[in-house]
Amino acid sequence: MTVVQLPTLDAPPITPLRGTLFDAARVIDGLPIGLLANEDDAYESWNCLYSSAKYIADPCAQNTKTFSAVPWAAAFYEVAYLGATCKGPGFSFNEGAGKLATLYQAMESKIVADRLMHHVLIVGNTDVTPGGAPVDPITALGVLEAHAATHYAGAPTIHMGRGLLAHLCQQLDTSGPTFYTCGGSKVAADGADTRMWVTGEVTIARGEMISVPAINTTTNDMTFLAERAYLISYDCLQAYVQTDVPVPGAP
């Protein structure tokens, strides 16, 4: 008997997106010990004291000085996973877990950005839209840059969906993996939300990737799991602007 090994057709590789949250954020492999019991306090946040600066009109006169408390950077703990199932034969049990882990890593920035967006837009809910009416993307970017310049020391991070990003390509430096505004703010573009928001520096501490394959020997069902825990924090500043870009799929 002659056995002929036929060539296999592999799926095309995933081309990573550029300009994502993971390109703009500080990403740390390993979860800090002792932070999970008190998620709200990640580290001392000095950068928002910039807006507390005062002036002395007459240095020669007696003056009463005002001192501001140093806030703590907001932080929250999240666990995300991706699961897949397929029927053998036809799928490789040995390769399935690795392929799912590769897919998860390609989606990881979007997964984390979605949870960060929830905490900034839903929990924080600081709407700085001028007049309460949605504005065009360029105006939204200008409002957030001005807001950050008033309340934050240093370059902030501007967050937006990939659809909004398409309206601003001429206004951004997209030459490298991390995108920047002309003012030097980092840009993180993930997902499809049509609001634009700003935070201080984002830090993402992530645990070990859990990759688990399993097989049901009765049904031949194979299951694969990719799971990871995160401690996500942003440095004090948070605000958003509503834009007039249509919501995908809306009539």
The phi-psi region of residue 93 (left if phi > 0; otherwise alpha if psi is between -120 and 50; otherwise beta) is: alpha
**Max mean pLDDT range (90-94, 141-145, 204-208):** 141-145
Residue 140 lies in a domain: yes
158-168 per-position pLDDT tens digit = 999 999 999 99
Residue 7 lies in a domain: no
Residue 159 lies in a domain: yes
**How many domains, in total, are found in the chain?**
1
Residue 248 lies in a domain: no
For residue 86, give the amino acid letter.
C
Least confident of 34-48, 102-116, 133-147, 210-224: 34-48
Q: Which tokens go with 96?
A: 């399935």
Percent residues over pLDDT 70 in the chain: 89
Is 104 in a helix, a strand, or coil? helix
> Which residue range(s) make up the domain with 105?
21-30+73-242
Residue 229 lies in a domain: yes
Residue 251 lies in a domain: no
Give me the DSSP letters along 27-74.
Answer: EEESPPTT-GGGTT--SB--GGGGGG----S-TTS------PPPPB-E
CA 205 to chain centre: 12
For residue 77, is pLDDT > 80? Answer: yes
Q: Residues near 175 by Cβ (< 8 Å), separated by ≥ 6?
A: none
Q: What is the dihedral of CA 239, 242, 248, 251, to 10 degrees?
A: 150
pTM of the model: 0.85
Name the DSSP class of 133.
S
In the chain the beta strands, taken as DSSP E runs, fall at 26-29, 74-87, 157-160, 172-173, 179-181, 186-189, 195-199, 202-206, 210-215, 221-234, 238-242
